[in-house]
Chains A and B, each alone.
Chain A
Amino acid sequence: MTDAAPTVLEMRHITKRFPGTVANDDVSFDLRKGEVHALLGENGAGKSTLMNILYGLYHPDEGEIRIADKQVQLGSPSAAIEAGVGMVHQHFMLIPVMTVAENIVLGDEPRHADVFLDIGEANERVREISDRFGLAVDPKARIEDITVGQQQRVEILKALYRNADILVLDEPTAVLTPQESGELFGIVRGLTEQGKSIIFISHKLNEVTEIADRITVLRRGKMIDTIPAAGATEESLATLMVGREVTLRVDKNPSNPTDTLLEVRDLHVFDDRGIEKVRGISLDIRAGEIVGLAGIDGNGQTELIDAMTGLRRAASGTVTVSGEDVTTASAHGHFEAGLGHIPEDRQRRGLVLEFSIAENFALHDYQRTPDSRFGWLFPARLIERGARLIKEYDVRGGGPHTRAGGLSGGNQQKVVLAREIDRDPQALIAAQPTRGLDVGAIEFVHRRLVEERDEGRAILLVSLELDEVLSLSDRILVIYEGEIVGEFTPDATEEELGVAMTGGGRGEEAA
């Protein structure tokens, strides 16, 4: 790679606003022929927004895009394809029940007699391209029968079939095993040798330093810097990516843990597609401590929580809540055993948005006295508790009769929090308890969690926010690829955690 390589893409001063946030704030970005240019940033830093603008899915509020020195308007994916941009989405745009070749030629099919689909020709062309770029796939295989790594190759072939010169790979390794990632890197190098230019979106530091020629770092919608990969270390990148900003420290006393209240032994869990997402996790959470579970999204956190709360059956292993084995109990059984659960997605799962606040408080207990007796509900009692909890947890924006859907995100979360804590659980699982909340609400949730710890509850905090994990936890566990890969004390640095979270600490042995 020399500096003499021509620039194939320039995005200048791109700004994109969504109601309430600025997703991209004056971001400039350029791509040279034959290079791998990594786009690095945390979740929500604006990487995907920028690439969706490039692919014509979003329209920028300000700024211009130039491809091969010509200004272009990318109003739709078709226009982007026409301009030579191909995109491999993180969530594959593939049709599981169709074959590889059908997926690739869709929308631009070879025909015979102008009417019929020439599937033979399609298979032939796919084979030809896959040979040329070294992406071995069977054109006749069905997508649902091939591995995720092969599916990704199909996505790349889809772009190549449409003669893409600029290829955007959106978090391509997020769904891959380490071996598959290795193979992908080989493919990427092969593509650049044939003159393709690659934008590689990632938040895994180790792989960025391995594959990229240059690295652009985004943080909270702003472009921080573009640096050559040569000479960049994981530590220096982590600093750029996370920034040295004031973190929200929570005042708390040292913890004083006692009995183990929440215990997980060698748990294995599969996701809906039959992939093993939790691979032998054991945890002990004791009364009076907050254990933080740090990790990048999709490393098995969701499946772990589901299995621990009775929403998903574990393949093997046990879950125990204050001495009671609840591995095979229903969700209701878990709540009865003394577990509280603040779910990851409060709108989809945590609340019935159409119900009033008071009704939402009763979600677990409506069938028990004093909420009801012999099937007869006592709304007055619900409202009385609603009023009490609204006051106690400072829920603003309505009274007990207000629809939960009408509250702001922070107040919705307070409702969930109040419901779970008011049941006086022994153990509490808080999954992303502050996602999407404003600073005030975050502080409230944090303070409350610490108070509950001091009350003697065992708390498992699962979060993607390192700040949060560091400031709240008494112990920190790092999950990676469905396993616990490290335990840290709260004085660990973000860099140390970051390396563990990206598999950095054991990258060598995995490959």
Chain B
Amino acid sequence: MSDLDQPPVGAPVDPSGLGPEVRQPWLERYDVAAKAGGLVAPVLTALLAFAVGGLVVLITTGKNPLATYRAIFEGAGFNWFLPWVQGTERQAAAFNMQQTLIITTTLVLTGLAVAFAFRCGLFNIGGQGQYITGAIFAVWIGSSFEGLNPFIHVVFAAVAGALCGALWAGIAGILKATVGAHEVISTIMLNWIAIWIGVFLFGLGGPLQNDRQEFVPVSNDIVEGAKLPVFWGDPVFQGLHIGFFVAIAGLIIYWLILSRTTLGYGVKAVGFNPEAARYGGINVPRNYFLAMAISGAFAGVAGAMDILGWQFRLGQDTVQQATIAFVGIAVALLGRNTAIGVALAALLFGGLLTGTSTRNLDPEIFRPELASNLTLLIQGLVVLFVGADVIVLWLMSRVRRRKPA
């Protein structure tokens, strides 16, 4: 054995993660970053992204980015948490907060969809397709079976959405497990296929197009019994529906699967070290499939919750413009694939999306159409800085070094 490729026996392993020999550098480094920083690294990542985003605002519009961020903060209803906000301002804040939490519900689930696959070493970039298929089935079942027991109806629609998402992601899982097709390309293609199926179904003359409004490319409305009850705010003005608890349940299930089941054990073992998993007697391809299917189920539920909770119908344009599942990628990455991290990151991005929506952002301060793209930009920057964790780690080491001095 030549020692050209490796340091001699006894020498400690290069802490930066040996380059070419390491199978999944991102997982290794990810772990290092997570251990090294705890909460500090993700917070620093987010701050860095917001700082660069603010710079873009400053350069392109000459406006004070802090004022913009403050407006977004209030538009998202985060001032509801501040005890000194009272009166009508508090009512407005509560309403905004409800909107933020509605989006957060979806983002938690789509974030979990990405995070779960990540834990098995897979990059599920196809949350969008899984979300759409879930939504399609939810709207189909929700708008049929009039008069069914509401509880059964809702559960039926949600489970169908979950199964559909699982099936859709499972295609990519099977392709990965059997022929080794890269999940990134296959899930992206499945996204577009799902979009066009949706466009077909709800398009004029399509099988699921609205029965009454012949010239609107949208589905039937779901029946009253299939709507999720609102528990905070006014149902007429889109209050917070109980899907929020489904998201919380999703977080708990995610945590339970990964830390309390043999399934989670196998998925994590394959994700961390497929070779050791194989040595240990774990069926690696089977776990690839299962991880993708479970991921898809989370995204499918997200789609179902949006339909049953507040959208109540699915239009052609919604199908084509649904980017919420992509935000899930940033949520999972920023949340470091932990349940609590996903929850916090989802709240952050939920606030960002709500605060930059046309309805909530004061156009005097910043144009909302611009702001929603600012959200995309910040999202990209978060992914960028998570990928370039070296930068964040370096910053952290600088901060640490300065402290004792």
Contacts and interface: CB of A to CB of B under 8 A. Distances in A.
Complex A–B touching at CB under 8 A? yes
Interface of A: 18-21, 23, 43-44, 46, 48-49, 52, 57, 89-91, 170-171, 297-298, 309, 311, 330-333, 335, 341, 343, 347-355, 359, 362-364, 366-367, 371-372, 375-377, 379, 403, 435-436
Contacts of A377: 259-262, 264-265
Q: Which of A46, A332, A341, A352 has the most CB of B within 10 A?
A: A352
Interface of B: 1-5, 7-13, 27, 31, 35, 259-266, 268-269, 272-273, 275-282
A113 to B, nearest CB: 36
Contacts of B8: 18, 21, 23, 44, 46, 49
Contacts of B3: 23, 44, 48-49, 52
Given A355-B269, A363-B269, A377-B262, A20 B4 contact: no
A366 B279 contact: no
Nearest to B30: A354
Contacts of B27: 354
Contacts, number: 117
Nearest to A17: B11
Nearest to B8: A23
A348 B260 contact: no
Contacts of A90: 1-2, 4
Lowest 8 A-B CB distances belong to which pairs? A332-B281, A363-B280, A90-B2, A18-B11, A354-B272, A331-B281, A349-B279, A48-B3
Interface of A is mostly: loop
A165 B192 CA distance: 61
Contacts of B35: 403
A43 B2 CA distance: 8
A59 to B, nearest CB: 14
Q: Which of B12, B262, B272, B276 has the most CB of A within 10 A?
A: B276
Given A20-B10, A298-B1, A375 B262 contact: yes
Contacts of A355: 268-269, 272
B4 A349 contact: no
A285 to B, nearest CB: 21
15 contacts: A21-B9, A23-B8, A44-B8, A46-B8, A49-B8, A89-B2, A91-B2, A352-B269, A354-B31, A354-B268, A354-B272, A355-B268, A355-B269, A379-B260, A435-B9
B259 A379 contact: yes
A352 B261 contact: no
B276 to A, nearest CB: 5
Given A49-B3, A352-B273, A436-B10, A376 B260 contact: yes
A303 to B, nearest CB: 15
Contacts of A350: 276, 279
A349 B273 CA distance: 8
A379 B256 CA distance: 11
A44 to B, nearest CB: 5
Contacts of A372: 261-262
Contact of A359 (B1, B2, B265): B265
A90 B261 CA distance: 46
A329 to B, nearest CB: 10
